[in-house]
Amino acid sequence: MTRPEEDALVALYESRLAATDVDGAMVRLADAQQAKRHAQQALDELRRTLRVARAPFSPLPGDLLNDIFVWGNKLDPSPRPAFALAGVSRLWRETALGCGVLWSNITLDLGKVTNINSYLRLLLARSGASPLRVDLRRIPATWNYKSPVIEEALLLGLLRRSRELTVSFIYPRTLDIDENQTPFGDSLLPYLQTSMPLLEEFTCTESHLYLPDSGAAGARIFTLAPKLRKVDLGYFSVDLIVPGALPHLAHFRSSHAHRAQGIQTVSKGWPKLESLSIIGVRSVAATQDIKFTHLQELNCGRRGIPEDALSMLSPASEHTPNLRKLVVTEGSETELTRFLGSTSFASLHTLWIDAPKEFTHEFISVLAALPNLTEWKISDINDACFIRIWEIWVGVPEMARFASSLRTLIFAECDFSQKAAQLLVAWLQIRVDWARSEQDVGHITELQIVQTDKTITSVFPSWLKPRLEELVETVVLDTDAVQFWPEEQELSV
């Protein structure tokens, strides 16, 4: 190759390198321009964000804020949130002060609150015309009418506007029950004779105020509360109430040990009663006139009273023909059997039995006469009694057919030894087998075993839960709270 040829080749190569550099520069320029566009877009977005952030705050409309306050009040029905909301801003304060419902839940602890009259006057003013939910706690058993804790005018205004009223009483010191008796006229109760046109619910919680029957003679309360639908008298006698004055009463509860005449008063005065909760009866007379044809829920017990309230309502098919739920506390198994009767009682759907002493063959046959029983709860049954029951049911497979509609089984604070637990599993298996072969027997869909009392001596073995879940759709095993140090036991297979 001659020298001119070499020079020409070098020139061609250099020109191609120059062209490549130009192409690379153009690509880099395009990338830089694209990066600039992205940066500009990000900058524009940031500027828009800053403009929005610097713009004046646009508050919620007052009516919407008011609705939010009303709904929030349902979640926490106490005055504390109301004071907090009123301190957020000027708008929130104006809305809160105009929302009467927000201030309508009044709780007064008469043994604790200072400046109680000023506080009550403030809440009554801010609640406007809203009906009140009132909870008066630790009311002195003997009310000082000359120098009352609450000014009389304020107390009467509070009662006139109450829709729900809860009261509890306390003595300055612990006394025997025979001494803890206050004449009606010396207590706060005479104020319940005032007009209470809005009152729908009254509750007297477990307290230490007892009225001797003689002291309450001729005294009546709630004669001017025509809307009252739900009453819990605590330890007060039903003799304090004139049934005809409460035509809409649907729910009645009392911890007072009434005579049969008192229960007759309830049945005749409120024939459309839907729920009734009473304890034992002091003396049982002829009870053929006691009928609750609309009653759907009955809660009764003894609490050391000789006579069971069930005894004057037996049989249920005659005295409570539409009963759907029965709760029995410390009741006699014999009286419960007599109450349910041996004939079919189709209306009962829920049966709760607390602290049963024994279950006989007769009672087991009664369960078979409850074709629509869907929920059965047993509380405080000892291990020996449980084993006796389930040994019968497992030993006689036909017993699994009882209460064919039963779906929910609940054991609360019951002892479960290994043997008792295995018997329960065996019975559930028999029940499942019957459900597969017979259409008229359903398997249990929910099982709850709750042990939270520290007196529990035999905790249900948690390792059996997977086996239970094979037989039952929903299993709740709540035993974590039980403090138990098990002794060495031989596991039964």
198's CB contacts (< 8 A; 6+ apart) are 131, 132, 160, 161, 162, 163, 227
What is the pTM (predicted TM-score) of this model?
A: 0.76
Do the domain assignments include residue 270? no
Provide the domain count of the chain. 2
Q: How far is CA 136 from the centre of its chain?
A: 21
Residues 111 and 47 in one domain: no
Are 198 and 131 within one domain? Answer: yes
- How far is residue 413 from each of residues 46, 375, 388, measured CA to CA in Å? 63, 17, 18
Indicate if the pLDDT at residue 219 is higher than 80.
yes
327: left (phi over 0), alpha (psi -120 to 50) or beta: beta
What is the arithmetic mean of pLDDT over 444-461? 88
In a domain, 314, yes or no: no
Residue 153 falls inside a structural domain: yes
- Residues 248, 118 within the same domain: yes
In whole angstroms, give the CA distance from residue 267 to residue 294: 10
Same domain, 27 and 163: no
d(CA 250, CA 380): 30
Beta bridge partners of 137: 109
43 shares its domain with 108: no
- Residue 18 counted as domain residue: yes
Confidence grade of residue 56 (pLDDT, cut at 50, 70, 90): very low
Q: Is 119 within a domain? A: yes
Q: Are residues 32 and 153 in the same domain?
A: no
> Nearest-CA neighbor of 486 among 465, 460, 452, 468?
460
Arithmetic mean of pLDDT, 256-283: 80
> Token pair for residue 289?
């006139």
Rounded Cα–Cα distance for residues 444 and 429 (Å):
10
Which sign does the torsion angle of CA 287, 288, 289, 294 carry?
A: positive
The pLDDT of residue 176 is 40
Where does a domain end: 252, 269, 292? 252
Is 235 in contact with 213 (CB distance < 8 Å)?
A: no
Question: In terms of domains, do 33 and 167 share one?
Answer: no
Cα separation, 117 vs 291, whole angstroms? 47
The Cα–Cα gap between 259 and 280 comes to 9
Same structural domain, 118 and 217: yes
Least confident of 103-112, 147-156, 209-218: 209-218
Q: Is the pLDDT of residue 75 over 80?
A: no
Residue pair 354/330 in contact (Cβ under 8 Å)? The answer is yes
Query: Which region among 91-105, 240-254, 327-341 has the lowest average model confidence (pLDDT)?
Result: 327-341
Percent of the chain clearing pLDDT 90 (strictly above):
25
- Is a pLDDT exceeding 80 seen at residue 142? yes
What amino acid is encoded at 219 in this protein?
Answer: A
Q: Are residues 108 and 181 in the same domain?
A: yes
Query: Which residue range forms the structural domain that includes residue 187?
Result: 104-252
**What is the predicted pLDDT for the residue at 20?**
57
Residue 351 counted as domain residue: no
pLDDT(476) > 80: yes
- Please tell me whether residues 21 and 112 are part of one structural domain: no
Residues 150 and 25 in one domain: no
Instruction: Note whether 131 and 246 are same-domain residues.
Output: yes
